[in-house]
Structures are given as structure tokens and as C-alpha cells.
């Protein structure tokens, strides 16, 4: 896929038995004894022991307010926090100073959107972030609400206009017409690095290059890309990249905004409070350089340590192997599902430039009902519009059922899914 | 298999052959309700007849898109409430709401709820309760509007 | 203290041995074998086993995207999350629908501040949140930066004017002059329910009553009050109350905004994204009722469960006992420290309307140096301005040293502190 | 007790009796730096003499408020840098920076750093490194400004 750096090493199959043994939740049963078949990692991933242990170790050994105390625990907490920043930076090919810890991907997108409206009353160095009437923000129909609604709201606050790149019938970005959409009026392009519904992986670097030629900034939503592929910000092409730790084996409560250094340096603050200030007077305040400028409040140090452990876990598996494993599962699923009459895949029918989210509809069986039958068999999928309502509308469906894969899933689970779908079909056509 | 307790035959029947479906004239109020989780939607009209609180539910007509539970539920509701006094119908609605919140502890009063007791199993599946309530909440909203309108005319 | 509901039950001394046994970190040693004396709970509290276990149980048994899936795990996660909301609501006397989960206190304050500027372009129901030129926000000199800088920024965005209530020489709010400060121009009063530096507990209910008579809203910063006293929003008087879970025995990554129902209902959204929307179209979106309207993104369900366990832990101790325990420690500290020549307490000299943060300066020994000597003896305190720089300026000092207490601290630790201070004095005057 | 390795006698001496303290005329640039964590602050002036990159640090004067480490560090720095060529002084500054980042692994080159090697122990205390660097960063900033100014005049 295009967001992956080239590599010579051939993919090594994941030892899923060994991997599964690391995830305590996978040994539980559900609904009257069925083994759990967790196919909802697109919503949130499960967490391995190693991550839970790393977070807990901070709480049990080194918990303190990082960057705030003069004592040993605070030093250790600061080391854990800044160490995690360095590890995450390495994971995406960034410098530590370009990694801002946020709460999640949602907050990271909002950070940029609000910083842009704050630019209106910030100093001249914030000039390039200002938007107003006549300016345009370009989103896509493929976006998760988290990378769409904040831009609608930015437009509402500033008078800018939202435009969007439409999708093709197989749930990819429609690339013809880009020249009319990306113009000198375009201030920012917001696009996903992987759709959470169709799995489509848009050509971020190409679109970013066009956007840059037009003078626009580019923010890529990496919530579904970073956990599953080797993403390197030096080749990705985007100026900003967001992600949520909880979708990549790590705890809730922490996410990342990557931003190119000179942009973060010029960008006005968003959330304000402690630890992001330089000098505070009642009359007004000045702010620290990035990344601190964007991180008010006591840091979530245990969760950062958990994220660091998750990066280590994924690195140990090898991101190329992770990708190959999911590609194998996706190919298997696409094939198995294609054989079910009445089933329509929303998204590309092959694994080229496509990640492991497989959404579908089924004639005569509503996604809620289908999900219910699967749940009864221990199979956890997601049903609904998956926070991508405009995409569903564009594909002419109201809702869908989504199976999404990760390192712990197996071909047998894909087969259980296919068998479950057939069972639902039988049940509702009876 | 628990599925049969959720999807009782009566629910599947209403789902496959919904009663009173289709938008009809005349009506006193129309509302559109949506389930934000899945996008299921219902457009529902209520026609009342008679004065004030003594009014009767003359007709309920609707158009809807959704899962078996939401479809069957609005169909059953229309059967149940058409012809009832508004006050009575509101009480049935409250009882149905209570049944949905019972987490499976309540079997439902068949004399009051009729076919709607078939939804008792839904209350064990929190994610589906909203499906079962979609039509009912729309009816409650539309009826309140119709009553208000009648009041402001009278 | 004034924010506590009346109670007939006499305080029962805490069994600190039993309490301490619940906190794994308290058995570690620091700096060459010294037992840890943790007097920095004002920055962040330590976490008992029960809380860590509750969070971990979610990750190991019921982890899923709450409110998003149709499967069993998602049901369990939703129950855990909404159960936590109910528990937190009960803890502060609110209705569950009035409790918004945020990332922390900082984000909760920012939520209200940004919702107020968003009101400018929201519908007419948001009218009462609008501020602009000629309007005033009233803060206090006692505030933590988290309840000050967001209001400065709101003023910068909207053209409103920031005014503030000054402090008395002993670090309480100066109440004379309030009539000139609270006027019909005042749109919002932001004040702390307990100072993180002086421990002062302002008369929130009284000031709120005045503010309400003038038509202003009131936001109370409960970050230092809720962990340490019984706070009941029905008697507190404030319209909004914020807190951070990590300061009350719970994990990072979660905090609370309490808001009166009709206010939350009328307030425009702040962070936008998934799960807070009603209908999303490319052309625009509508939003859910509170609390969901203010909670975009996949919920931090394990952390919420941790917060719920923390409330249960505190309830089991009894908040009146917690308060009495800290009052005992504070009285002891005030007495012991008063005997040290050259030491100046910043804040009230007695425990009346005063919580357990004891900040001080020491002639001839800079706080950093004092903190270093204490750290060398295993005593963890905070040094600097504690994110309350204007307060330090108002009290005529550049920085201070702060000891802050919680349920696991003992009189012996207070004595170790006093002895450590004397040692520092000897070291630097040598 | 590790305290003595951090607070070497020489540091305490400079803290108690700082050298070159007080703001003096003439100067080519003045800066104010602050440590945001604790509010420690230094106002520092640099006077250069001589042309361009060959310029010499003619004087460093300062006023400061802070802990023993920050106070002693600026005093030792002034001793060390006054009289040096700007280029040399910058090198000393870089070496001191490297020493501070060494986490205790580096003892410091005494021939280059003189009394400043006494701060080697500070590098083991991350929270104090900023204290030790406050004056140095201010000097670097002021000197860069003074050199710029000289350049733009010449
Ligand atoms: C009084 C007060 N308010 C707000 C905060 C901010 O809390 P947090 O950093 O968790 O958002 C703190 C703690 O740092 C505090 O002491
Ligand atoms: C593509 C995409 N973007 C953003 C998000 C938002 O992530 P979070 O809710 O953790 O902020 C998600 C997941 O819900 C996602 O799939």
C-alpha cells in the first residue's frame, strides 16, 4: 500500500497462537459459552498483557505529575512520558518535538480546527492558519465524523466554505475533478489515510502534493492506518497526522497529533491551562514552544507508557508482518463473503490499496439483525453507519455491518463470520 | 439459542408484513425520528378525532426504514393504539417504555400491551431498545404536537 | 467547610495502615533506600489496587467501544461507562445526565469557554452563553491556570473583558469590593472551590448567589475540592463544576464537567466527531442531547470504571472521615511549620475553611533547593508556582514549596517534612 | 547523602557571593529569560568589543532571582566567559550544554569549563538542568542579538 515505506524483508506469518495468548480477553466466552470472535478492532483494539503491565507499572512504581515535580517520582514519570513521546515519534518517523499527546484522534483534529479559528486573534505568525469567508476547507465523503464535523464547525465559526471529494461506487476517493476542488482558495485538505468503512487507502501523498502546490495544508486521519501499516510521516506527505492509541493495542485516554515542526511552532494554542504557559499574568499569558504548548494539564503518563509498550509490541511483530497478516485475512474475507448470495461489499473487492475493514449489506437482513445473530454466535462486529454517515449515503445504503481485523484474528474466525452470515440469512428468510 | 426469544414469530410476522404502513391523509401532526446509531428512521403521522383530552387516535400512518425490531414495533403499535383514547394510548406507551427498561425482568401485561409483549425479550439487549422505541417515541412526539395544535385552535 | 453537606455522623479516624496497604507505590523506596513520603497529592494522587484492578478488569473482560457496538462486549462496556456516570453523579449529588466525561478538569473548563464562543454562531437557544465586547468574565487571583487562561483566551476571542477578585494577604478571596466586580455586565464567574496553593476554600455558594442575582453563570473548579470533601452540587451553588479523576485516586485520561441540565441542554457543542451527532450530512450536522453532545469519540471506559471504583473507595472511607483526616494532618503541619524560623505559610494559618495544601517559603532557601533536600530524604513535595503564578505574584513571592495531603498520609510524615525543612535550613545556612 | 555531589562547595560559594552581579552599562544586548516551571528569572546584558566574529566578550552583567543552582551557574558563567572571544565562549557554552545532558556520565573538561565542572552532578537531576542552563541560554540569546546588531551596523 502506498503509505508504507519500501522494505526488502519478506513478510513473516504471525504466530497467532502466541499473539492470542498475550490478550487475556480473547480467552473469555460470551452469550452462553461461545468463544469470543472479536472482529471489531476498527472500533477499538484489544490490549495485550504487555501494554496493561506497562501502564500498571507506572501506577505502581513511578506515578507522579510529569514535568511538574522536583522529586524522584516526578523525574521517573517525566522520563516515562518523554520516552513514550520518542517511541511514538520513531514509530511514525517523526521527531519527538513534532509529537503532541492529545486525548484521542478526535481531539487532535479539533486541536487543529480550533487553532485555525484562534489564529484570527493570534499574532502575525499565525497568519497562515487564518481562514474566513472566501476560503475553503476540502474534506472527503470517505471521512469518519471525527475528521468531518470539526471542519464543518470551523467553517461555521469562520465563514469559510466546506467542499468535499466524492467517493466512487466502490468506496474509494473519486480522483477525477480534483483540479476543480483543490484551488488557491483551499486552505486545508482533510482526508483519511484509510477508511474505517470501506478500507480504501487514498493516495495521500499524491493529493497532499497537489494541495501543497495550491498552498493548502493537509491533515491525514491516521486512526485506521497507523495501527495497521508502516506509516512514515516523511513519505506520507501530510502536514498533520492524527491517531488514537486505543485502536493500536494501547489504553484509552491518549492520542497523537503529529505536526510538521514549523507549523506547530507557528500555530496558536487550543486547550489552555497549566504546563503549556511561559508566563501568566492576570492581564494575559504567553505560551511555551510545541509540543508543550498543546498539552495543558497533568500528563497521562501511564497511558503514554502503555502506548509506548504497544509500539514496542507492534515493532516486535513487525509492521510489515502485521500488514501482510491483515491482508491475508481481508483477502480471505472478501472471497468468502463474495460467495454469499445477496451480500454486497461496500468497498474495493480486492486487497490492493485496501486495509482490513470489510463492510457489507445483505439483502433482506438489516445490519442490526445480522449483528444480533452474529453476536449470539460470539462474533462481535459493528453495525450502523460507523460514524461515516455521509459515506453510507453516498453508497446508497442506510447502514452496514463491518468486520475489522487485527493481529490476533485468524482465518478460522473469518470462516465463522461467513457461516454466521449464512445462518442469519436462513433465520430471516425462514 | 436465545435468538427465538428475541425474534418471536409475531415480531417476524409484523416485520415481513407491516400493518398500517404508508403515509396517509388526513393527519394532525407529522414527525421524523431517527436513531443516530444506525440511521434507522421513521416518518409518522397522527390523526386525532374528538375534543381535547377526550380525543381518540383516529389514525397512525408511517413510513420507515430499519431493522426487524423497529419495523415490527411501529406496526404493532399502530394496531394497538388506533382507536384508543389519547390518554389510554399514552398509558400503553408508558407501559411499553417500562417494559423496555425492565432488563428482561418484566414479561409485560398482555391485556394492556397485546402483541407488544412479544418485545419483552428486547429489553435484555440494551443496544436494541432504541430500535423498539423508535416508533413509539415518534408517536408520543406527534401526538403531543397534535394535542397542542388542537388546544391552540380550540 | 462550606461546600460540605451537613452530616450527623461523627468522623471516624482513618486506619492509615490499612489504607496504605492498598497503595502499591507507597511500599517502594527512593533515593538510596528512603521510604517514600508522598506529599504531592495536590498534583496527582496515588491509586489504590481496587482502582487499578477495576480498570484492568474492563480491559481483560469487557473492553469494547461503548455505545457503538451491537455485541455483548459493547453492551458490557456501555454498562460500565454509564454505571460510572451514575456513580460519579451520585458522588457529587448530580443527575447522571448532568455529568459529562471529559479528559480532565482542564478540558472541562475549556469546554465551557469554547462553548461560549461557539454560541456566537449557534442558534438562538445558545443566546445566554454569548459574550462580546462590553461583557465581563470575572475570575479570581486564586485560580489555577486551568481556570484562568481559558477565560483570558475566551476574552481574546470575543472581545469581552476579564476582571478578577483579588486575594487577601493570607491567600483567601478578598470579599470586600465584590459589589463593584459583580455587575450586570458579568456573564460568568470562574472561581476555585479550593485553592491548590493556599488551601483556601472560598464561599462559593455566597458568591454564586450574588452572581446569579446579577444574571451571571458560575463555574467552580473542583479539582482540589471534590477529592477531599463532600461536595454536593445542589448546595454548592455553582452552575458548572469541573474535576480531574487522577487527583481522586483514579486513572488519568478522564475528568468531569458537571453542568445544570438546562444549561447543558442549551449549550452548543465544543469537541465534535463521532457519537455526539444526531444526523451528519456533508452540508451540516445536528447534535445529540447532553451529555452525549459533549462526548465525541470512543469513550474511555476502563478509566471511567477506575473513577467509579475510586468513588466507591472514598465512599467506603467516608468523605467526612477523609476530610477530618486531612484536617488533622493540616493542623499538625501548620503547627509544626510555624515553629520553624524564617518559614512563611502562604495561606490561612488555621484549618477553618481550609483544605490540605500547605505552601510555604523559607528565608534563604529557594523552593527548588528545599525540594531537593526533601527529595533526597524521600519526601516528595512540589516546588514552583504550582500553576498559580498570579497568586504567587499577589502574595509577593516568586515560588513556593507545597506539601499536600491525602488519605494515605500520616502525622509521622508531617513530622518528617518538618525535620526535612530544618535539615535544608542547616544545609544552606552552613 | 548525595546532596554534596549536587551542591558542591563551589556552587554554594557562588550562590552566596555571586560574581559580576548587577546590571551595568555599556551593553550591546539585553534579554530576559524565565523558567516557566518555577518563575526563576534572569535579566542579562552582554557587551562585546572588537569586530565581527573576532569580537570579545567585554562584559556580562545580570540581575537574577532563583535557586542556588541557577544563581551560581550564571555567576560561574560570567567568570568563565568574560574576556573570551565570542567563538570560544560559544564553544564553552556548547560544552556546558553537553555536560548538562550527560545524565551524570560526563565529568566535564576542567581545562575548558573551569569551575563549571562543579555542575556535573546537576545532570543527574533532570528537573534542575533548566536551572543550571537559565543564565547560559540567556547569554547565548543576548550574544546572538549583539552579534546580529554589530553585523547590521557594520
Ligand atoms: C485547582 C486546580 N484546577 C485545575 C487543575 C488541572 O487539573 P488537570 O491538569 O488534571 O486538568 C489542577 C491540577 O493541576 C488544580 O489543582
Ligand atoms: C478513521 C477514524 N478516524 C477517527 C476516529 C476517532 O477515534 P477516537 O474516537 O478514538 O477519537 C476513528 C474511530 O472511531 C476512525 O475510525
Segment A364-423, tens digit of pLDDT: 999 999 999 999 999 999 999 999 999 999 999 999 999 999 999 999 999 999 999 999
More confident residue, C203 or D148: C203
Residue keyed to cell 462496556: C77
Which ligand lies nearest to the CA atom of residue A357 in the structure?
Answer: 2
Cβ distance B36 to C67 less than 8 Å, yes or no, reads no
Residue B3 clears pLDDT 90, i.e. is over it: no
CATH value at residue A195: 3.40.640.10
Q: Residue A4: what pLDDT?
A: 43
Q: Is A8 within a domain?
A: no
Local confidence band at A226 (pLDDT 50, 70, 90 cut-offs): very high
Q: Is there a single domain that holds both residue A38 and residue A164?
A: no
Burial status of residue A27 (CB atoms within 10 A of its CB: 0-12, 13-18, 19 or more): exposed
Q: Is there a single domain that holds both residue C377 and residue C258?
A: no
Number of residues assigned to chain D: 154
User: What separation in angstroms does the CA of D26 have from each of B78, C101, D47, D48, D90?
Assistant: 93, 58, 7, 9, 21
Q: Is A268 within a domain?
A: yes
8 A C-beta contact, residue C369 and residue C375:
no
Residue C402 clears pLDDT 50, i.e. is over it: yes
Q: Residue C348: what pLDDT?
A: 97
Q: What are the E-state strand segments in chain B?
A: 29-34, 41-49, 56-65
For residue C39, the CA-to-ligand 1 centroid distance in Å is: 16
| Cα atoms found within 13 Å of the Cα of residue C269, Cβ hemisphere only | 28
Question: Considering A285, A315, A345, which residue would you say is the last residue of a domain?
Answer: A315
Q: Is C4 within a domain?
A: no
Residue C108 clears pLDDT 60, i.e. is over it: yes
Average pLDDT, chain C: 96
Q: Residue C9: what pLDDT?
A: 58
Local confidence band at A10 (pLDDT 50, 70, 90 cut-offs): low
Q: Is C37 within a domain?
A: yes
What 3-state class would DSSP assign to A394? Answer: helix
**Of A244, A301, A390, which is closest to C282 when you measure between CB atoms?**
A390
Average pLDDT, chain A: 96
Work out whether strand A357-362 and strand A343-346 pair parallel, antiparallel, or are unpaired.
Answer: antiparallel
CATH value at residue A419: 3.90.1150.10
Nearest CA-CA partner of C286 in B32, A323, D19, A304: B32
Residue keyed to cell 455483548: C72
Local confidence band at D154 (pLDDT 50, 70, 90 cut-offs): low
Q: What is the mean pLDDT of residues A341-346?
A: 97
Local confidence band at D150 (pLDDT 50, 70, 90 cut-offs): confident
Q: Is there a single domain that holds both residue A247 and residue A372?
A: no
Q: What is the mean pLDDT of residues A273-285?
A: 96
Nearest-CA distance D54 → chain A (Å): 32
Cβ distance A31 to B2 less than 8 Å, yes or no, reads yes
Q: Residue C7: what pLDDT?
A: 47
Q: Is there a single domain that holds both residue A63 and residue A20?
A: no
Question: D125 at the C interface (CB within 8 A)?
Answer: yes
More confident residue, D104 or A46: A46
8 A C-beta contact, residue A416 and residue B58:
no
Query: Do you find a cis peptide bond into C291, omega within 30 degrees of 0?
Result: yes
Q: What is the pLDDT of residues D77-98, one digit of tens each?
A: 999 999 999 999 999 999 999 9
Q: What is the pLDDT of residues A172-225, one digit of tens each?
A: 999 999 999 999 999 999 999 999 999 999 999 999 999 999 999 999 999 999
8 A C-beta contact, residue A417 and residue A374:
yes
8 A C-beta contact, residue D97 and residue D136:
yes
| Cα atoms found within 13 Å of the Cα of residue C34, Cβ hemisphere only | 21
Q: Is A164 within a domain?
A: yes
CA separation for the pair A100, A259 (Å, rounded): 8
For residue A388, the CA-to-ligand 2 centroid distance in Å is: 10
Q: Is there a single domain that holds both residue C232 and residue C357?
A: no
Which ligand lies nearest to the CA atom of residue A105 in the structure?
Answer: 2
Q: Is there a single domain that holds both residue C267 and residue C138?
A: yes
- Is any atom of ligand 2 closer than 6 Å to the C-beta of A192? yes
Q: Residue B106: what pLDDT?
A: 85
The 8-class DSSP code of residue C275 comes to T
Residue A2 clears pLDDT 50, i.e. is over it: no
Would residue A155 show up in a list of annotated catalytic residues for this protein? no
Provide the total of helices (H) and of strands (E) in chain D, helices listed first. 6, 3
Q: Residue C389: what pLDDT?
A: 96
Residue D125 clears pLDDT 60, i.e. is over it: yes
Q: What is the pLDDT of residues D8-45, one digit of tens each?
A: 999 999 999 999 999 999 999 999 999 988 889 999 99
* Contacts across the A-C interface (CB distance below 8 Å): 307
Local confidence band at A280 (pLDDT 50, 70, 90 cut-offs): very high
- CA angle D80/D81/D85 to nearest 5° reads 135
Q: Which three cell numbers stand for residue D50?
A: 572588537
Q: Is C200 within a domain?
A: yes
Q: Is there a single domain that holds both residue C337 and residue C252?
A: no
User: What separation in angstroms does the CA of A116 have from each of A151, A153, A158, A194, C109?
Assistant: 10, 11, 9, 24, 20
Q: Residue B154: what pLDDT?
A: 53
Lowest model confidence (mean pLDDT) among A4-8, C362-366, C374-378, D112-116:
A4-8
Nearest CA-CA partner of A220 in A291, A139, A166: A139
Residue C244 alpha carbon, nearest atom of ligand 1: 10
Q: Is there a single domain that holds both residue A310 and residue A398?
A: no
Q: Is C9 within a domain?
A: no
Cβ distance C385 to D12 less than 8 Å, yes or no, reads no
For residue A307, the CA-to-ligand 2 centroid distance in Å is: 16
Alpha carbon distance, N-terminus to C-terminus of chain C: 42
Question: Considering A265, A289, A315, which residue would you say is the last residue of a domain?
Answer: A315
Per the structure, the count of domains in chain C is 2
For residue C65, the CA-to-ligand 2 centroid distance in Å is: 11
- CA angle C314/C317/C320 to nearest 5° reads 90
Q: What are the E-state strand segments in C70-194?
A: 99-102, 136-140, 161-165, 186-192
Q: Is there a single domain that holds both residue C73 and residue C108?
A: yes
Q: Is there a single domain that holds both residue C176 and residue C322?
A: no
Interface with C, mutate which of D67, D68, D72, D131 (most C CBs under 10 A)? D67
Q: Is there a single domain that holds both residue A259 and residue A336?
A: no
Residue A273 alpha carbon, nearest atom of ligand 1: 6
Residue keyed to cell 436513531: B35
Alpha carbon distance, N-terminus to C-terminus of chain B: 55
- Is any atom of ligand 2 closer than 6 Å to the C-beta of A387? yes
Residue A259 clears pLDDT 50, i.e. is over it: yes
Q: Is there a single domain that holds both residue A301 and residue A396?
A: no
Q: What is the mean pLDDT of residues A104-109?
A: 98
Q: What is the pLDDT of residues C320-351, one digit of tens each?
A: 999 999 999 999 999 999 999 999 999 999 99
Cβ distance B125 to C75 less than 8 Å, yes or no, reads yes
Question: Considering C255, C288, C315, which residue would you say is the last residue of a domain?
Answer: C315
Residues of the domain holding A128: 52-315
Q: Residue C5: what pLDDT?
A: 42
Q: What is the mean pLDDT of residues B112-133?
A: 93
Q: Is A9 within a domain?
A: no
Q: What is the mean pLDDT of residues B8-31?
A: 96
Q: What is the pLDDT of residues D50-83, one digit of tens each?
A: 887 689 999 999 999 999 999 999 999 999 999 9
Local confidence band at C361 (pLDDT 50, 70, 90 cut-offs): very high
Which residues fall within 8 angstroms of residue D136, CB to CB, at 6 or more apart?
A: D73, D74, D77, D93, D96, D97
Contacts with C63 from chain A: Cβ below 8 Å = 25, 44, 46-47
Q: Which three cell numbers stand for residue A331?
A: 483477502
Q: Residue C3: what pLDDT?
A: 41
Amino acid at each position: 500500500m502506498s503509505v508504507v515505506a519500501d522494505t526488502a524483508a519478506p513478510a513473516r506469518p504471525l504466530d497467532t497462537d502466541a499473539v492470542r495468548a498475550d490478550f487475556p480477553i480473547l480467552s473469555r466466552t460470551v452469550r452462553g459459552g461461545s468463544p469470543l470472535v472479536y472482529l471489531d478492532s476498527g472500533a477499538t483494539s484489544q490490549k495485550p498483557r504487555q501494554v496493561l503491565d506497562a501502564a500498571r507499572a507506572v501506577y505502581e512504581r513511578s506515578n507522579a505529575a510529569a514535568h511538574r515535580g522536583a522529586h524522584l517520582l516526578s523525574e521517573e514519570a517525566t522520563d516515562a512520558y518523554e520516552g513514550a513521546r520518542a517511541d511514538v515519534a520513531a514509530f511514525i518517523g517523526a521527531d519527538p518535538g513534532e509529537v503532541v499527546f492529545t486525548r484521542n484522534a478526535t481531539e487532535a483534529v479539533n486541536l487543529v480546527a480550533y487553532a485555525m479559528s484562534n489564529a484570527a486573534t493570534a499574532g502575525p505568525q499565525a497568519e497562515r492558519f487564518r481562514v474566513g469567508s472566501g476560503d475553503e476547507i476540502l474534506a472527503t465523503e470517505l471521512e469518519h465524523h471525527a475528521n468531518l464535523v470539526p471542519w464543518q464547525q470551523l467553517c461555521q465559526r469562520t465563514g469559510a466554505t466546506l467542499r468535499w471529494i466524492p467517493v466512487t461506487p466502490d468506496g474509494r476517493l473519486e480522483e477525477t475533478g480534483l483540479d476543480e476542488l483543490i484551488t488557491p482558495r483551499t486552505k486545508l485538505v482533510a482526508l483519511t489515510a484509510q477508511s474505517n468503512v470501506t478500507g480504501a487507502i487514498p493516495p495521500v501523498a499524491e493529493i497532499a502534493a497537489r494541495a501543497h502546490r495550491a498552498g493548502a495544508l493537509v491533515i491525514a486521519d491516521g486512526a485506521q492506518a497507523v495501527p495497521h501499516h508502516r506509516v512514515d510521516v516523511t513519505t506520507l506527505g501530510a502536514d498533520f497526522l492524527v491517531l488514537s492509541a486505543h485502536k493500536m493495542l494501547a489504553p484509552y485516554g491518549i492520542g497523537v497529533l503529529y505536526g510538521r515542526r514549523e507549523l506547530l511552532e507557528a500555530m496558536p494554542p487550543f486547550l489552555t491551562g497549566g504546563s503549556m504557559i511561559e508566563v501568566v499574568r492576570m492581564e494575559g499569558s504567553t505560551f511555551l514552544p510545541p509540543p508543550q504548548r498543546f498539552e495543558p494539564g497533568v500528563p497521562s503518563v501511564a497511558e503514554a507508557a502503555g502506548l509506548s509498550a504497544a509500539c514496542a509490541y507492534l515493532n516486535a511483530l513487525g509492521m510489515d508482518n502485521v500488514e501482510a497478516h491483515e491482508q491475508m485475512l481481508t483477502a480471505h474475507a472478501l472471497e468468502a463473503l463474495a460467495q454469499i448470495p445477496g451480500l454486497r461489499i461496500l468497498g474495493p473487492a480486492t486487497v490492493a490499496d485496501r486495509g482490513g475493514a470489510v463492510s457489507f449489506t445483505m439483502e433482506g437482513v438489516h445490519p442490526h439483525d445480522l449483528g444480533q445473530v452474529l453476536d449470539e454466535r460470539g462474533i462481535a462486529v459493528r453495525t450502523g453507519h460507523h460514524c461515516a454517515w455521509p459515506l453510507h449515503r453516498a453508497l446508497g445504503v442506510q447502514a452496514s455491518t463491518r468486520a475489522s481485523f487485527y493481529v490476533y484474528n485468524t482465518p478460522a474466525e473469518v470462516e465463522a463470520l461467513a457461516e454466521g452470515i449464512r445462518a442469519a440469512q436462513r433465520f430471516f428468510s425462514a | 439459542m436465545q435468538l427465538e426469544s428475541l425474534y418471536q414469530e409475531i415480531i417476524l410476522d409484523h416485520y415481513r408484513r407491516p400493518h398500517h404502513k404508508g403515509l396517509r391523509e388526513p393527519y394532525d401532526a407529522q414527525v421524523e425520528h431517527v436513531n443516530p446509531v444506525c440511521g434507522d428512521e421513521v416518518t409518522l403521522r397522527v390523526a386525532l378525532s374528538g375534543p381535547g383530552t377526550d380525543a381518540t387516535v383516529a389514525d397512525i400512518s408511517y413510513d420507515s426504514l430499519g431493522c426487524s425490531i423497529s419495523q415490527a414495533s411501529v406496526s404493532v403499535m399502530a394496531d394497538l393504539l388506533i382507536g384508543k383514547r389519547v390518554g389510554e394510548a399514552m398509558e400503553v406507551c408508558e407501559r411499553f417504555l417500562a417494559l423496555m427498561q425492565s432488563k428482561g425482568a418484566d414479561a409485560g401485561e398482555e391485556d394492556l400491551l397485546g402483541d407488544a409483549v412479544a418485545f419483552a425479550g428486547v429489553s435484555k439487549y440494551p443496544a436494541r431498545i432504541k430500535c423498539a422505541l423508535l416508533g413509539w417515541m415518534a408517536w408520543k412526539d406527534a401526538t403531543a404536537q397534535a394535542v397542542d395544535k388542537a388546544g391552540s385552535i380550540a
